[in-house]
A and B are shown apart, each in its own frame.
Chain A
Amino acid sequence: MSKSRSQYRRFTRSKAGNVMYFTILILAGAFSVLPLIYCVVTSFKPLDELLIFPPQFFVRRPTLSNYLILPSLLGKLQVPMSRYIFNSLFVALVSTFCHIIAASLAAFAFSKSKLKFKKLLFLLVQVMLLYNSYTLAVPQYLIFGKLNIIDTYLVYILPAIPSAMGCFLMKQFIDVGVPDALLEAARIDGASIFRVYWQIIMPMVKPAWMTLLLFSFRDMWSIVPAGTIFSEELKTLPQVMSTVTAGGLARTGSSMALTVLLMIPPIVVYMFTQGNVIETMSSSGIKE
């Protein structure tokens, strides 16, 4: 009965099982991806096809005009389109970077330190996540005012750094993925906390922060601040969406085109991060 270690193979699905699962997943997935396809298809529709009744799902005579008109539609604003693109990327990248560093450092301390109040503080991080955000808007606005950060980049970036979800996610993964014994060994060898963080913790929980990178980038990329940004040169791309949709029915195609353009960066980040999650997996598989 007992297999030697080298002979051991994981219990895997049968070929037939694989095919069955694959079919189910592709069908469900096709349904799930429908809105994305709809956006892309609609963005290539000429005006008359957009107005047909009953509406048609597919496009018959695709056109690029919805895309080509975008720079001139947005160019009527005081600031060129490139400025909005820069702002969106800048805000999303900087806040994602700061958030991952701050959240994973804190998660490391929550998971591995012997600090007295860490359990209580972590519980606070966990439960605050569950408080309804609507009623927090007014106090938050007053705090932004006191800090004098209204109408600056900081009003996007600073509140995004202490997002409780990221710290929670990182803490769970460090708990499971990094054995205490390994840390102790590193500490005995004289590694500082910071080196342990950078050379042991972060590489070991790479799937976690790669996933967090995607979540954070996606959220920050589509952020529309509520009444905290007034200067045109500080606005992000999603905020000018309304100038396009204000054109009414005739602009349906262009607003779809803008929606499609807005989807591209998160998809690129998705491909990059998920590719890395899988790479980590296969390399750790060889080690163990």
Chain B
Amino acid sequence: MTKAVKPARPKIRREMSENTAYGIILIPFLALFFLFTVLPVLSSVVLSFFDYDMVSSPIFIGLDNYSRLFTGDTTFMTVFANTLKFAVITGPLGFLLSFVLAWMINEFHPVVRTILSFLFYAPALVGNAYFIWQILFSGDSFGYANNFLISFGLATEPIQWFKNPEYNMTIIMIIQLWMGMGVSFLSNIAGLQNVNGELYEAGAIDGIKSRWHELWYITLPSMKDILFFSAIMQIQAVFSIGTVITQLAGYPSVNNSVDTIVSYISDVGTTRYEMGYASTISVILFSVILLFRYVVIALLKLIGKSDSK
């Protein structure tokens, strides 16, 4: 700790310019990031132009995979539509829910806040929490939901919740909303606590009149960067759901009613050994996600605008 009191050491500063120092602290992360993420992504993009069964060496086939995807693959069209529907509904809802809950919880006493946020973070702590839904919505008459409906005379026979295209999408959307809160929710909790208290004081002097004004003109604008993070994490979550659905509804589900692009990708790769084609679908999915990312950026720019008074 004695070092902290020592005066400036200009010699060392001259030797190591600021940029070099920043460069050095960037390297450990970036080097590993390129190795374990960028390189595999690039190989996946390259593979999308190949026919590759993971046994024999890849064969270059140009744009064949892409033309197959857009012209002949009806399953892709179905899973694509499912994924979009799923994402457009659960994405924004999950985003709003994780903020509203965090905001509601934030004003309680710290102990109450820790307990409440624990309740909402619990599904993320139990690794495979979705199994509870399997028990609740079990297809036989012993399932809690069916048992309830039948005993109150609301249904005459058990409903196959996960097999019936009328219900399964809705149930899975609810499950995603409930399971996917973890990251956005806790980031929002941390973000709300990072808001500078002086801003509220200054706001009161500048004529903020209600809690809603405070939320729109102070809290939300100061949270913008964190909201952006949580929006991106929501996009990531809603576009990567697959395994959970496969566990609950099976793959393929009845009429492909709840199959997503991601479950289709792993089917193409794992059971059909078409890694090239799986990569093509990944590239297309990635482009769609990037499109959504730009929409989100545009929407977040509206926060704190005064014309919406």
Contact = CB atoms under 8 A, between A and B. Distances in A.
A218 interface: yes
A128 B37 contact: yes
A132 B286 contact: yes
A130 B293 contact: yes
A129 interface: yes
A135 B107 contact: no
B131 interface: yes
Contacts of B152: none
B36 A132 contact: no
Q: B129, B190, B193, B201: which has the most chain A beta carbons within 10 Å?
A: B190
B145 interface: no
Contacts of B9: 190
A106 B26 contact: yes
Contacts, number: 276
B105 to A, nearest CB: 7
Nearest to A274: B114
B43 interface: yes
Contacts of B108: 18, 22
B54 A138 contact: yes
Interface in B156-208: 178, 182-183, 186-187, 189-191, 193-194, 196-198, 200-201, 204-205, 208
Interface residues of B, number: 105
B282 A131 contact: yes
B33 A136 contact: no
Nearest to A273: B186
A211 B44 contact: no
Interface stretch (A62-70, A72-80, A83-91, A161-169): A161-169
A281 B262 CA distance: 40
B90 interface: no
Given A132-B265, A134-B278, A218-B125, A106 B211 contact: no
B3 to A, nearest CB: 8
A262 interface: yes
Interface in B31-75: 32-33, 35-41, 43-44, 47, 54
B35 A143 contact: yes
Contact of A131 (B36, B44, B147, B223): B44
B87 interface: no
A5 to B, nearest CB: 6
21 contacts: A5-B205, A11-B210, A12-B211, A22-B108, A32-B120, A33-B118, A113-B26, A114-B22, A128-B38, A130-B235, A132-B282, A135-B278, A139-B40, A140-B40, A162-B32, A165-B233, A195-B4, A222-B127, A238-B127, A271-B114, A284-B197
Given A190-B9, A215-B182, 20 more contacts: A2-B205, A30-B119, A33-B118, A34-B132, A35-B126, A55-B135, A106-B30, A115-B22, A115-B26, A129-B232, A134-B269, A135-B269, A139-B39, A161-B32, A172-B228, A192-B12, A211-B187, A218-B125, A262-B127, A263-B127
